[in-house]
Chain A
Amino acid sequence: MWRGLEAILRGRDAREGWVFAQRFCGICTTVHAIASVRAVEDALQLEIPANAQYIRNIILIAHAMHDHIVHFYHLSALDWVDIMTIPKADPVRAAAIADGYSNWSGNSHQELLAVQNKVKGMVAGGQLGFFSHGYWGHPSMRLSPEMNLILFSHYLQALDFQRKSAQIVAILGGKMPHIQNLAVGGVMNAINPNSLATLNMDRLAMLQAILENLIPFVQEAYLSDACLLAASYPEWFRYGRGVTNYLAVPDLPLDAKATKFDLPGGVIMNGDLSAVRPILNWQDQPFRTAVAEDVTHAWYQGAGLQQPWKGESDPDYTDFVEEKKYTWVKAPRYNGHPMQVGPLANILVGNATGHAGTRKWTDTAFKAISSVHGQNVTLNDMQSTMGRHLARAIRSAMLSDIALEHLQLLQNNILGGDDTTFNPPEFPQHEIMGMGMHEAPRGSLSHWVVIEKGSFTNYQAVVPTTWNASPRDLQGIPGPYESSLPGNPVADPEKPLEVLRTVHSFDPCMACSCHTLDATGQEITQVKVL
Chain B
Amino acid sequence: MTPIWHDDTLKHVSVLGIGNVLLGDDGFGPLVVEMFRCHYECGSSVEVLDLGTPGLDIAPYLYDRDLVILIDAIHMEATPGTLCLFPEDELISHRAELHLTGHDPGIQESLAHLKLAGHAPRELIVLGAEPQRCEFGAGISPSVLTAASAAIVALARLLKERGVSCQSRHPSIQPNIWWLPQGSPASALA
Contacts and interface: CB of A to CB of B under 8 A. Distances in A.
Interface of A: 4-5, 7-8, 11-12, 16, 19-20, 23-27, 29, 66, 70, 74-75, 115, 118-119, 122, 129-133, 155-157, 159-160, 162-163, 166-167, 170-171, 174-178, 206, 496, 500, 510-528
Contacts of B31: none
Interface string B99-113: 110111111110111
Contacts of A133: 95-99
Among all A-B residue pairs, the 3 with the closest Cβ atoms: A26-B53, A519-B76, A170-B1
B60 interface: yes
Contacts of A115: 116
Contacts of B74: 516-519
Given A167-B1, A526-B134, A511 B55 contact: yes
B114 interface: yes
Contacts of A70: 56-57
B59 A130 contact: no
B92 interface: yes
A523 B103 CA distance: 7
Contacts of B179: 20, 23
A511 B104 CA distance: 6
Given A129-B112, A130-B108, A159-B63, A4 B136 contact: yes
B103 A156 contact: no
A130 B103 CA distance: 13
A127 B22 CA distance: 37
Interface range, B side = 35 or more
Contacts, number: 182
B42 to A, nearest CB: 16
Contacts of B6: none
B6 to A, nearest CB: 13
B95 A130 contact: yes
B14 interface: no
Contacts of A74: 56, 105, 109, 113
Nearest to B63: A163
B43 interface: no
B1 A520 contact: no
A8 B137 contact: yes
B188 interface: no
Interface stretch (B44-52, B146-154, B157-165, B166-174): B44-52
B126 interface: yes
Contacts of A27: 53-55, 57, 104
B34 interface: no
Contacts of B106: 515, 523
B35 interface: no
Interface string B1-22: 1101000000000000001111
B1 A176 contact: yes
Contacts of B50: 178
B112 A130 contact: yes
Interface in B81-131: 84, 86, 90-100, 102-109, 111-114, 116-119, 126, 128, 131
B102 A178 contact: no
B23 to A, nearest CB: 4
A497 to B, nearest CB: 10
A522 B74 CA distance: 10
B117 A11 contact: no
Contacts of B118: 118
